[in-house]
Amino acid sequence: MDNLFCEGHEKELTDCHFDGWGVNDCEPTEAAGVTCQSPAGEETLPDIKPEYYEPKSRIHYSQRMEIRLRGGRVPNEGRIEVRLNGGAWGSICSDGWSLLEANVVCRQLGLGYARDALQTDYFGGADLTPVLLSGTECYGNETSLQECLHYDFSRGTSTCHGERNHVAVVMCHILAPDLVVDYYEIERTAHLEDRPMALMQCAMEENCVANEAYEIQRDDPNWRYVTRRLLKFTASALNAGNTDFRPFKDKSMWEWHMCHMHYHSMEVFATFDIYDAQGNKVAQGHKASFCLEDSQCLPGIPKKYNCANFGDQGISVNCSDVYLYNLDCQWVDITEMNTGLYTLKIAINPEFKVSEMSFDNNAAICNLLYTDTYARVDNCRLERP
């Protein structure tokens, strides 16, 4: 199951929406997990502490950590090796290794930005250099891997459960895209629309409305005349980096969508979420598939990417991919949401699947005032997804 969406009240996961059995682009590290806790006063489960409960901490500044790449075909790639206080070199456990950690390594070594973060033994594995660190977790803006969180290295690497012999690997490059959300466009274009479900059949095929709409479609023979209330807005993503932003999937894996008459190259390029004052998610967009193209470019910059006719997809440097508010799924279904004050969060590349210079400008966090007759979005600011 992939791209699973639940409202929270379903009795079984199969009552939620997802792409279909076996339809996914999941990596081995993307398996979903959960930690449950019994409500107060009820009988609790035995006090079992799984290994992933082990606390993480930064390596103390008094320790001297060195870092290098080994086994690569060129100097800017390879398995990552570290050593502490001049001791033996060791590799890093591949568990949870992502572009966030890889970016820190590339920055620390002066090699630019992470193009790929891999978990492999292609450049040599744990048989060459035994694992020294595990549980590595970076925010992404650290200047040194030592500043990131790790499990206590002095206790060994019993918490490393990745593929046998696989270690953390990075490929660095001086070029990287950098997407920036245009929150002014969100503030300027946000508005309400009540749309009959008869005009949303294509959008409903892509899970772009709340679960209640599908229940109405199932139970009400006149469902086509029922209206849904939509918070609509234009979303624009500018590539302010120094190389093109390209889809995560290879072109051979893009999916044709008959309703929209073009290929979708990314399943999750943007997410639209609304939170109440307590931080609970009360509504979310379901724009699960995207095509990427140069909708607008700065003067003198030619457009390179176009979704039509199975064209190449991406976002060129100094160009923006613009999804206008009148396009399908460019909304949040708020039909069941009460009026009041909320927070709207619009994020692009939210799963960090495509490398960027920084992810700190990939989300717009805005105030949302919702009344019976209008919606106002203001006070937006840039943050990470």
Average pLDDT over residues 201-217: 86
Confidence tier at 36 by pLDDT (50, 70, 90): confident
The domain limits of the chain are 57-173, 179-383
Q: Which helix (H) or strand (E) covers residue 238, if one does?
A: strand 235-239
Q: How confident is the model at residue 257 (pLDDT cuts 50, 70, 90)?
A: confident
> Is the pLDDT score of 52 beyond 60?
no
* CA–CA separation, 341 and 252 (whole Å): 44
Helix (H) or strand (E) holding 183: helix 183-189
Query: What's the pLDDT at 69?
Result: 97
Q: Pick the residue with more confidence: 13 or 49?
A: 13
Q: What's the pLDDT at 223?
A: 94
Q: Is the predicted pLDDT of residue 53 greater than 70, yes or no?
A: no
Q: Specify whether the CB–CB gap between 249 and 25 falls below 8 A.
A: yes
CATH topology of domain 57-173: Mac-2 Binding Protein (3.10.250)
Is pLDDT at 54 greater than 80 in this prediction? no
Calculate mean pLDDT across residues 282-293. Answer: 79
What is the per-residue pLDDT across 7-28, written as a single tens digit (0 to 9) for each? 677 788 887 777 778 877 777 6
Render pLDDT for 87-116 as a digit per residue (tens, 0 to 9): 999 999 999 899 999 999 999 999 999 999
Question: pTM of this prediction?
Answer: 0.82
| Residue 175 DSSP SS3 | coil
Residue 3 has a pLDDT of 76
Report the C-alpha gap between 283 and 192 in whole angstroms: 14
pLDDT tens-digit series, residues 56-86: 889 888 889 999 999 999 999 999 999 999 9
367 SS3 class: strand
SS3 percent helix, strand, coil of the chain, rounded to 5, is 15, 30, 55
- Residue in 199, 216, 355, 350 with CA at minimum distance from that of residue 285: 350
Sign of CA dihedral 312, 317, 318, 323: positive
| CA separation for the pair 287, 207 (Å, rounded) | 7
pLDDT tens digits for 124-174? 998 888 999 999 999 998 999 999 999 987 776 667 877 788 999 999 999
Residue 4, pLDDT score: 79
